[in-house]
């Protein structure tokens, strides 16, 4: 590691990797270092995720950020054979929302108003009846409960420009392409804190090293100076991009920097068995963008309860999940600022016992066979969603040289390329960035002070 870098990026998740790649695209002579506590790229929440991609969002901003990133990933596949086979970077087998009446109207209107921008088709109840094991009108939540049953399913919405990303391929592409452009990577290295130490022009409180309050008003004087690592080493930096996912607050809060985001643990459960096999073999009556014979496979299913079912075709598994806001306190268990290391353990965050108690009751009313011996739990793991208040990412740049990119709200991989372009532009002080699909977008729209986005209602 060198004594100083123009830019240090904290975090080699999708946001940090895409930012490094786009920063390096323009000026190869810049010295850029990406630091990550894990042993390789994409091993934070990215590695624990469902890694699905969709352009069906209620917010036009999210549609643009995800749609342009998906288009970029499709282009990468066209250019790089190793991103097409044996495993495709993006497999657009589609999303299928199984909708109750309440949402059918809302989603129908959304698609109708955005014809052309959202590639989706509505399905009638008859087309859904072929889904193996699906009970469209459940009788109860669980045995012995007398609350009104979960809402019946009255139709479906199939999103075509949607499907599964291979996260390890995406992470590897960005890492290797950035490296070819001169970006350095330091894995297994934790950033413990950022400081203004080492700039003689900045007065600092003793002994805590914080600058005096008035200096914030001295235009251009206050600049970030050093990045301190868990092993007590440090390096000088002119700018720092914090893309540390759920753990970003741990190094930004001590600077008085608020991200407006709330990290919450989210879990996935992998199941196998005869009921899972039947669902995996469903030839859905849809026309996905990616298929060998034009026929539909089992799409990514979203139930009226918000629970999701992801088909893992090669391994003959289903991954079951659902957005959890009640079950976990806000915040991360791990604290790199306190510990000087990031003890993130996907398996421990998984908590197998939550499968039966927290998740299954949101799935089994619609797929009873998944509960009654038709599927066995194989494994479970967890990561974090970093929720922003409105379901849009957050991108904040300070006058003292720190940029934060995060607030993925559970859909960061599918928007990573756009966020990388925007964070790179923000870091250079530009007011606009061009997305892969040609639209220009102001990074400031994702800031907290001048936020200008359409809130998102469809969070999965």
Ligand X SMILES: Cc1cc2nc3c(=O)[nH]c(=O)nc-3n(C[C@H](O)[C@H](O)[C@H](O)COP(=O)(O)OP(=O)(O)OC[C@H]3O[C@@H](n4cnc5c(N)ncnc54)[C@H](O)[C@@H]3O)c2cc1C
By CB under 6 A, the residues from 408 to 427 that bind ligand X are 408, 410-414
- Give the DSSP per-residue string, 232-270: S-EEEEEEEEE--GGGHHHHHGGGT-----EEEEEEEEE
Judge contact between 383 and 346, C-beta under 8 A.
yes
Closest chain position to ligand X (CB): 13
Nearer to ligand X by Cβ, of 154 and 308: the residue is 308
Span interacting with ligand X, options 7-15, 56-64, 135-143, 425-433, rule CB under 6 A: 7-15
Out of 406, 418, 421, 447, name the contact with ligand X by CB under 6 A. 406
Least distance in Å: CB of 41 to ligand X? 7
Which of these, 34, 43, 5, 63, lies nearest to 392 by C-alpha position?
Answer: 63
Judge contact between 134 and 307, C-beta under 8 A.
no
Least distance in Å: CB of 321 to ligand X? 6
Q: CA 185, CA 263: separation in Å to the nearest integer?
A: 26
Q: CA 296, CA 101: separation in Å to the nearest integer?
A: 24
Out of 5, 97, 196, 384, name the contact with ligand X by CB under 6 A. 384
Out of 5, 22, 32, 38, name the contact with ligand X by CB under 6 A. 38
Least distance in Å: CB of 353 to ligand X? 17
Residue 339 burial by CB count (10 A; 0-12/13-18/19+): exposed, middle or buried?
middle
Out of 183, 268, 276, 302, name the contact with ligand X by CB under 6 A. 268
Q: CA 175, CA 21: separation in Å to the nearest integer?
A: 8
Judge contact between 305 and 363, C-beta under 8 A.
yes
359 is a contact residue toward ligand X (CB under 6 A): no
Judge contact between 308 and 322, C-beta under 8 A.
yes
Out of 7, 9, 13, 154, name the contact with ligand X by CB under 6 A. 13
Judge contact between 412 and 393, C-beta under 8 A.
yes
49 is a contact residue toward ligand X (CB under 6 A): yes
Question: By three-state DSSP, how is residue 64 classified?
Answer: helix
288 is a contact residue toward ligand X (CB under 6 A): no
Q: CA 418, CA 66: separation in Å to the nearest integer?
A: 7
Least distance in Å: CB of 244 to ligand X? 3
Out of 37, 90, 318, 396, name the contact with ligand X by CB under 6 A. 37
Span interacting with ligand X, options 101-109, 172-180, 239-247, 396-404, rule CB under 6 A: 239-247
Which positions lie near ligand X, rule CB under 6 A? Answer: 10-16, 35-38, 43-46, 48-52, 190-191, 243-247, 251, 266, 268, 321, 336, 342, 383-385, 406, 408, 410-414
């Amino acid at each position: 590691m060198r004594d100083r870098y123009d830019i240090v990026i904290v975090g080699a998740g999708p946001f940090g990797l895409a930012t490094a790649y786009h920063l390096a695209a323009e000026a190869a002579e810049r010295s850029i270092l990406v630091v990550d506590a894990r042993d390789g790229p994409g091993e934070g929440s990215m590695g624990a995720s469902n890694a699905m991609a969709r352009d069906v969002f209620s917010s036009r901003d999210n549609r643009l950020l995800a749609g342009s990133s998906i288009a970029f990933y499709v282009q990468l596949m066209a250019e790089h054979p190793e991103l097409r086979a044996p495993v495709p970077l993006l497999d657009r087998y589609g999303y299928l929302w199984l909708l109750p009446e309440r949402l059918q109207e809302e989603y129908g209107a959304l698609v109708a108003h955005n014809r052309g921008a959202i590639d989706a088709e509505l399905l009638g109840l008859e087309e859904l009846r072929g889904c193996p094991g699906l009970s469209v009108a459940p009788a109860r939540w669980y045995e012995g409960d007398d609350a009104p049953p979960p809402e019946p399913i009255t139709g479906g919405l199939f999103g075509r420009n949607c499907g599964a990303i291979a996260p390890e391929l995406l992470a590897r592409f960005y890492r290797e392409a950035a490296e070819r452009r001169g970006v350095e990577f330091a894995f297994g290295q934790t950033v413990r804190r950022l400081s203004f130490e080492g700039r003689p022009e900045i007065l600092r409180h003793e002994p805590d090293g914080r600058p005096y309050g008035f200096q914030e008003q001295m235009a251009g004087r206050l600049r970030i100076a050093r990045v301190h690592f868990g092993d007590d080493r440090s390096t000088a930096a002119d700018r720092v991009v914090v893309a540390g996912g759920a753990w970003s607050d741990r190094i930004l809060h001590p600077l008085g920097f608020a991200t407006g985001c709330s990290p919450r643990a989210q879990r996935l459960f992998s199941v196998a068995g005869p009921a899972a096999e039947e669902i995996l073999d469903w030839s859905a009556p849809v026309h996905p963008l990616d298929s060998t014979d034009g026929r539909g496979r089992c799409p990514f299913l979203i139930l009226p309860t918000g629970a999701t079912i992801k088909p893992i075709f090669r391994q003959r598994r289903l991954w079951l999940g659902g957005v959890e806001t009640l079950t976990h306190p806000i915040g991360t268990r791990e604290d790199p600022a306190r510990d000087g290391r990031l003890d993130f353990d996907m398996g421990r965050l998984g908590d197998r016992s939550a499968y039966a108690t927290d998740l299954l009751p949101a799935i089994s009313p619609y797929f009873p066979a998944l509960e009654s011996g038709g599927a066995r739990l194989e494994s479970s793991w967890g990561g974090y969603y970093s929720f922003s208040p409105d379901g849009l990412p957050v991108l904040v740049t300070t006058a003292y040289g720190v940029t934060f990119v995060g607030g993925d709200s559970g859909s960061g991989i599918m928007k990573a390329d756009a966020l990388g372009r925007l964070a790179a532009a923000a870091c250079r002080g530009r007011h606009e960035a061009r997305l892969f699909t040609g639209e220009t977008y102001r990074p400031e729209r994702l800031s907290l002070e001048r936020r200008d986005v359409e809130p998102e209602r469809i969070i999965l």
